[in-house]
Amino acid sequence: MPAGVLSPRTGSFRILPPGFNLESRRGDPPVSARRRAARPRREAAGRTRRGFSQTRALRVLKEVAEALNSAPTEQRAADEALSRMADLLGVETGWVWLRDPASNRFYNAAVQNLPPYLQEPVRMTGRSCWCLELFRNGELTARNIDVVECSRLAPAAESREAALTHGLRCHASVPLYAGGRPLGVMNLAMRGWRRLMRQELDLLTTIADQLAVAIERARLGEQSIEHARADERSRIARDVHDTLAQGFTAVGLHLEAGLSHLAPRNQARPALRLALDAAREGLEEARRSITSLRGSPLENRSLAEALGALSRRFMTDTGVRVRVDVADVGQVPTDVEAELFRIASEALTNVRKHAGVSEVTLRLEKTRGGLRLTVADTGSGFRVRGARRRGFGLLGIEDRARVVGGRATIRSAPGRGTTVAVTIPVNRHD
């Protein structure tokens, strides 16, 4: 298969002739001289590659399949596949771009051992780069896996920051497709260009297919849960309308009719008036419940799905990776969902403005008495008492938690990161 490389001057993808080496483009000795000098290394590499046996290939595929089968989320699946693919090619660094189905923008779903230059979040946002452009244009396919020069590392390699790349300048770009649907790209970085062996290409393609299936399975699982919850909400709303709402309406009409036939001073009138007021209050509460069940402020998504979309958008915009760990918390009152979502959004906004980190953790879990939302980072931190006066949004977070009967705990100190934990006793809302 012909080798390919991206031109840093034109940004175009070029097919290299046989024997062409990327290094020779930058004033290095002729290819023939380099071949003579590199002969001992090639022979050693050949011995290493010949050790890549069919037994090892089957073992790698088995390990990947077992890991992906047990991966509950797309992030976990990407982490597992990236680790094994890097080991397969004998590289230490890699990252995975996934396309957000809602926005069609790319976010960084997994990384391994990034060099210092790429650890700056601004350099790992979802902005376009050469490999993503190739993928978006349909030029990077399972039949066209090859090593390309990294446009994110190129500025450092050509400046005084070259040491921050750890010598990395190229990566093997492996496209991820599921049934023809483009999912993303896995990049495995290396210090120099080399042609990938046919066996390596076959294994990379197979593992990429397995990862794509795992990602689709995780997404379909989330969607099926959301559809089930939406159906359940609609069913409850119909039941409330057909039973409680209509029942309260009928009771109110009968009480009004009875009151209209009573004399003004009849002793039964006060009691019937109280009963009518109670029926009207019950009817209003039933209507509020129907509206709450049918009209979610999270665009008809569950809290878990909304938090996932929020995290992907945050990763695309900032390059800061969000480790999402959302448990199945079951049915959650709509007002609680809305406030927890807004709290998570405010906490991530604080991370963007003040934390200066490359990764943050967002966790939603069920506790004995309700729910707990945690947003934690290991960034610069701050003094909590002074931060309340400087507009960090902490008062808003605490107020939102109190609105739904919960409590927000904010722990932070200079140089020790920040943790925002919100606990809400959901049972009182049932």
Query: Which range has the worst mean pLDDT, 314-323, 411-420, 421-430?
Result: 421-430
Give the residue with greater pLDDT, 193 vs 45: 193
The arithmetic mean of pLDDT across residues 415-421, rounded, is 89
The arithmetic mean of pLDDT across residues 398-421, rounded, is 88
Give the residue with greater pLDDT, 4 vs 136: 136
**pLDDT tens for residues 235-264?**
777 777 777 777 888 888 888 888 888 888
| Cβ pair 185, 174 in contact under 8 A | yes
Half-sphere exposure of 126 (CA within 13 A, CB side): 23
pLDDT band at 301 (very low <50, low <70, confident <90, very high): confident
CA 37/CA 39 separation, integer angstroms: 6
**pLDDT tens for residues 114-157?**
999 998 888 888 788 888 988 888 888 877 777 888 889 888 87
Residue 32 has pLDDT above 70, yes or no: no
CA 263/CA 253 separation, integer angstroms: 18
Residue 369 has pLDDT above 90, yes or no: no
Query: Which range has the worst mean pLDDT, 14-18, 246-250, 383-387?
Result: 14-18
Query: Which range has the worst mean pLDDT, 172-176, 238-242, 319-323, 412-416?
Result: 238-242
* Predicted local confidence at residue 3, as pLDDT: 42
3-state secondary structure the chain: CCEEEECCCCCCEEEECCCCCHHHHHCCCCHHHHHHHHHHHHHHHHHHHHCCCHHHHHHHHHHHHHHHHCCCCHHHHHHHHHHHHHHHHCCCEEEEEEECCCCCCEEEEEEECCCHHHHCHHHHCCCCCHHHHHHHCCCCCHHHCEEEECCCCHHHHCCCCHHHHCCCCEEEEEEEEECCEEEEEEEEEECCCCCCCHHHHHHHHHHHHHHHHHHHHHHHHHHHHHHHHHHHHHHHHHHHHHHHHHHHHHHHHHHHHHHHCCCCCCCCHHHHHHHHHHHHHHHHHHHHHHHHHHCCCCCCCCHHHHHHHHHHHHHHHHCCEEEEEECCCCCCCHHHHHHHHHHHHHHHHHHHHHHCCCEEEEEEEECCCCEEEEEEECCCCCCHHHHCCCCCCHHHHHHHHHHCCCEEEEEECCCCCEEEEEEECHHHHC
Residue 97 has pLDDT above 70, yes or no: yes
CA 65/CA 139 separation, integer angstroms: 28
Give the residue with greater pLDDT, 185 vs 122: 185
Phi, psi of 249 (to 5 degrees): -60, -45
What is the average pLDDT score of the chain?
Answer: 77
Sign of CA dihedral 203, 206, 211, 214: negative
> What's the Rg (C-alpha) of the chain?
29
| Cβ pair 22, 149 in contact under 8 A | yes
* Predicted local confidence at residue 360, as pLDDT: 92
CA 249/CA 279 separation, integer angstroms: 7
Residue 377 has pLDDT above 60, yes or no: yes
Cα distances from 417 to residues 81, 210, 325, 382, 414, in angstroms, run 30, 37, 19, 8, 7
The arithmetic mean of pLDDT across residues 19-29, rounded, is 37
> From 1.10.10.10, 3.30.360.10, 3.30.565.10, 2.30.290.10, which CATH number describes the 303-429 domain?
3.30.565.10
CA 233/CA 245 separation, integer angstroms: 16
Residue spans of the domains in the chain: they are 3-222, 229-294, 303-429
Best CA proximity match to 117, nearest among 90, 155, 91, 147: 155
CA 386/CA 146 separation, integer angstroms: 53
* Predicted local confidence at residue 388, as pLDDT: 58
Residue 384, C-beta contacts closer than 8 angstroms, at least 6 positions apart? 394, 410, 411, 412
The arithmetic mean of pLDDT across residues 57-71, rounded, is 81
- Sheet with 170-178, edge to edge strand ranges: 106-112, 93-99, 181-190, 170-178, 146-149
Residue 39 has pLDDT above 70, yes or no: no
Give the residue with greater pLDDT, 37 vs 307: 307
Facing residues of 98 across strands?
A: 107, 184
* Predicted local confidence at residue 83, as pLDDT: 87
Query: What number does CATH give the domain 3-222?
Result: 3.30.450.40
Query: Which range has the worst mean pLDDT, 185-199, 230-244, 335-349?
Result: 230-244
Query: Which range has the worst mean pLDDT, 155-159, 224-228, 285-289, 347-351?
Result: 224-228
With 0-12 / 13-18 / 19 or more C-beta atoms within 10 angstroms meaning exposed / middle / buried, residue 20 is: middle
pLDDT band at 300 (very low <50, low <70, confident <90, very high): low
Amino acid at 223: Q
Query: Which range has the worst mean pLDDT, 82-96, 211-225, 317-331?
Result: 211-225
Give the residue with greater pLDDT, 226 vs 121: 121
| Cβ pair 128, 122 in contact under 8 A | no
pLDDT band at 40 (very low <50, low <70, confident <90, very high): very low
* Predicted local confidence at residue 6, as pLDDT: 44
Facing residues of 160 across strands?
A: none
Query: Is-above-0.85 flag for pTM?
Result: no
Pairing of strands 407-412, 371-377: unpaired
* Predicted local confidence at residue 373, as pLDDT: 94
Phi, psi of 260 (to 5 degrees): -70, -20
pLDDT band at 374 (very low <50, low <70, confident <90, very high): very high
pLDDT band at 223 (very low <50, low <70, confident <90, very high): low
Give the residue with greater pLDDT, 426 vs 51: 426
* Predicted local confidence at residue 376, as pLDDT: 92
